[in-house]
Amino acid sequence: MSQKVFLLAAHSAWGGASNFNDMFNSGGYECIEILSNTDPYDYGSHMNDKKLFQTNKEDLSLITAKLSVAHDAIFFLFDMGGVNMFYDFIRGPFGHLRDCRVNTFWSGTGYKEGGYAHYNKWRQNAKVRVSPGTSYAMPDLVALDPESQPLYQPQDLIRASGLRAKASDTGALKERELTIYHTPGRKGGDNRKGTLDIRRILGTEVSRVARNLIKSGIQVSYEQLGTSSREFAPHARALAAKAASHIFIDKVGSYSSGGLGKSGLESLAMGVPTVSSVYETQFRDPYKGLQDCIIDGTEPTQWVPEVIRLLEDKEHYDRWVENILLKNECIGFDNTLAYLEETMTR
């Protein structure tokens, strides 16, 4: 019988829960996401048949049935939303879940911006009494909890490669029209991902290079998906845009919301040269090799010379891509699952 795994999250995009769902099921586990609500981005829609929503009345009986017999299951709690859901379960009719294997994954800015002091200690709360489990955190957050292991959201490298190939085959990825892409989503109206600085810098320091490239028949453009707090672009649309880009910018500046995030991991999985702040990121095993695959954007303009060289020098660009594809297996399903099987409580 397959080992049961339950992923608890506010919605699929938090912590990239659907990525873990896909990875565990692909690896032979019987995995289900239990979510507080639907995801406005439709994140991980290809895993919708493995999701149960607390807001869906038809799913409530299924959640009850599955948790009632989940005595030997593995749990992954994603950020504060997942922890709060689990707490509600054990305070209610599922007190037996206290004895299950309970792992946590911290990935959100809420944890970074003050929640960590409380949630690092939630297991020791006398009212909770949960069995000790493994704590994971994004590599820019591990310093907030000395017991946390580094973890990035796993990526389906085969699927990512297919999206990149499709963009090339359909002409969306053009050889002489170089696209710099940025997806701040709902954060596009402010500077939480350095979006305002990115647009300003590209409009000044990079535009001169772009004008020179036009003389040789090469166009350079900047595209952005997300401009206001009300915009919810479908996840599939964002993936297609990254697949059609030549350079992807996740976030810049030490003031931005953390280090490399889900967006940057998705572009790296496709082999796209990626700019990101790596502020406070600890590149420990199993992610040491990933460090020289990222164009460091921690300081607002330090990424500009490398981006210019990538635009001007195709051989240099091709070497960057080759380096990414040689080392991005550390974020793939196989390597991530092997790492978790060595470290998670199960």
How does pLDDT run across 257-285, given as a tens digit for each residue?
Answer: 678 999 999 999 999 999 999 988 999 99
Is a pLDDT exceeding 60 seen at residue 203?
A: yes
Question: Tens digit of pLDDT for each residue in 69-106?
Answer: 998 899 999 999 999 999 999 989 999 998 899 999 99
Q: Yes or no: say if 280 and 292 are a contact pair by the CB < 8 Å rule.
A: no
Q: Set out the domains of the chain in order of their start, with CATH numbers.
A: 4-151 (3.40.50), 157-331 (3.40.50.2000)
Chain centroid, CA 300 distance in Å: 22
Question: Tens digit of pLDDT for each residue in 275-316?
Answer: 999 988 999 999 999 999 999 999 878 899 999 899 999 999
**What is the rounded distance in angstroms from the CA atom of residue 148 to the CA atom of residue 58?**
36
Confidence of residue 113 (pLDDT cuts 50, 70, 90): confident
Strands (E), the chain: 4-9, 30-35, 51-53, 74-78, 101-106, 135-137, 149-150, 177-182, 219-224, 247-251, 274-276, 294-296
Whole-model pTM?
A: 0.94
